[in-house]
């Protein structure tokens, strides 16, 4: 559906996008992750045929950005991070105006606009002035405008930028719905938690270079050099640590007494009791996936297990690990 081959764009000595190669299929929701100025917008604008690359190729639905730009624009919906609206129009007038530019004419135009408003949960504001909308509502109307011509490919540049927490949750829900409609979506963001529950695939870009591209689980595994376990036993922690260090799959064991609760409602006395019990941080040897013998070894040696869990790896952790050394 979208294929880029060494897509490159520079401004003087600054390489904004450096040989970006990417392949996306129908239904992929691709999270384009990177800090401001990393090349996300430049890449998306080249895919949308709004910016000519220095070299490289890009195909959208089998069409080349060089030979078929008008065809591609009919198949693509591009939503920039900031877009202007006409304040002297109502929401429905605003959408009907843009529907006419897509040559959606006749009595069906109003129906199309109403359907898109319903899709983005903005039907209740159809007769409100655009100038009266909140930032989140304006973003949703902008998304409705992007969907008017039924594009198969959506390029959404920072769609949740500047939104309050509630509006961000609503935007994530909309993105999930679009993926379920089998559309190919590229959504960029520098706020990683926004994309964690939405995207099927992610790409991480830094200083114009695509550092990683893959399905979310694959990227997590790539970022994690070794599995880390957090273990707590009832007593005799030093002996438990030595026992674990003797296991073939264990690289090292560290005993820590600094434990805090992640549950705001947990009583202070409960937290104090947990803090009094040391935690064993167990790092497994690289490549180890199966650590099922470890709890069995502890139990067979008379230890009472109070906690045994694997360290969570999220997109923020993955990004920091993968971009290590690129920050300078």
Span 225-267, pLDDT tens digits: 778 899 999 989 999 999 999 999 999 999 987 554 444 444 4
Q: What is the pLDDT of residue 288?
A: 87
| 3-state secondary structure at position 119 | helix
Q: Which residue has the higher pLDDT, 307 or 314?
A: 307
CATH of the domain spanning 228-312, picked from 3.20.20, 1.10.3470, 1.25.10, 3.30.70: 3.30.70
Return the CATH architecture of domain 2-223.
3-Layer(aba) Sandwich (3.40)
Segments of the chain assigned to CATH 3.40.50.300: 2-223
Q: What is the pLDDT of residue 199?
A: 85
Specify the DSSP class assigned to residue 129.
B
Enter the tokens of residue 180: 């379920």
How many Cβ atoms from other residues are within 10 Å of residue 129's Cβ? 15
Segments of the chain assigned to CATH 3.30.70: 228-312
Span 127-137, pLDDT tens digits: 999 989 888 88
Span 48-100, pLDDT tens digits: 999 999 999 999 999 999 999 999 999 999 998 876 667 789 999 999 999 99
Q: What is the pLDDT of residue 244?
A: 95
Q: Which residue has the higher pLDDT, 213 or 163?
A: 213
Q: What is the pLDDT of residue 41?
A: 93
By C-alpha distance, which of 60, 66, 64, 57 is closest to 26?
Answer: 60
């Amino acid at each position: 559906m979208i294929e880029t081959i060494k897509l490159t764009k520079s401004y003087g000595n600054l390489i904004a996008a450096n040989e970006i190669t990417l392949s996306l299929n129908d239904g992929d929701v691709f999270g384009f992750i990177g800090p401001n100025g990393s090349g996300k917008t430049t890449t998306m604008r080249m895919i949308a045929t709004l910016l000519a690359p220095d070299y490289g190729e890009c195909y959208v639905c089998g069409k080349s950005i060089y030979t078929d730009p008008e065809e591609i624009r009919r198949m693509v919906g591009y939503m920039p991070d900031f877009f202007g609206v006409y304040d002297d129009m109502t929401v429905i007038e605003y959408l009907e105006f843009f529907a006419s530019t897509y040559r959606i004419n006749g009595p069906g135009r109003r129906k199309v606009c109403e359907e898109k408003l319903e899709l983005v949960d903005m039907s209740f504001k159809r007769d409100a002035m655009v100038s009266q909308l909140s930032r989140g509502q304006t973003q949703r109307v902008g998304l409705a405008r992007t969907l008017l011509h039924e594009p198969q490919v959506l390029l959404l540049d920072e769609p949740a930028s500047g939104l309050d927490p509630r509006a961000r949750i609503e935007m994530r829900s909309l993105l999930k719905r679009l993926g379920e409609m089998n559309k190919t979506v590229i959504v960029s963001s520098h706020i990683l938690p926004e994309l964690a529950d939405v995207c099927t695939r992610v790409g991480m870009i830094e200083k114009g270079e695509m550092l990683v591209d893959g399905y979310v689980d694959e990227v997590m595994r790539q970022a994690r050099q070794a599995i880390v376990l957090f273990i707590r036993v009832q007593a005799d922690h030093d002996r438990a640590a030595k026992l674990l260090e003797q296991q073939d799959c264990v690289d090292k064991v560290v005993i820590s007494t600094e434990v805090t609760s992640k549950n705001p409602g947990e009583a202070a006395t409960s937290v104090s009791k947990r803090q009094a019990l040391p935690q064993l941080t167990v790092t497994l040897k690289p490549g180890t996936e199966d650590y099922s013998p470890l709890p069995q070894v502890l139990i067979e040696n008379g230890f009472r297990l109070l906690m045994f869990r694997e360290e969570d790896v999220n997109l923020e952790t993955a990004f920091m690990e993968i971009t290590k050394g690129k920050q300078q």
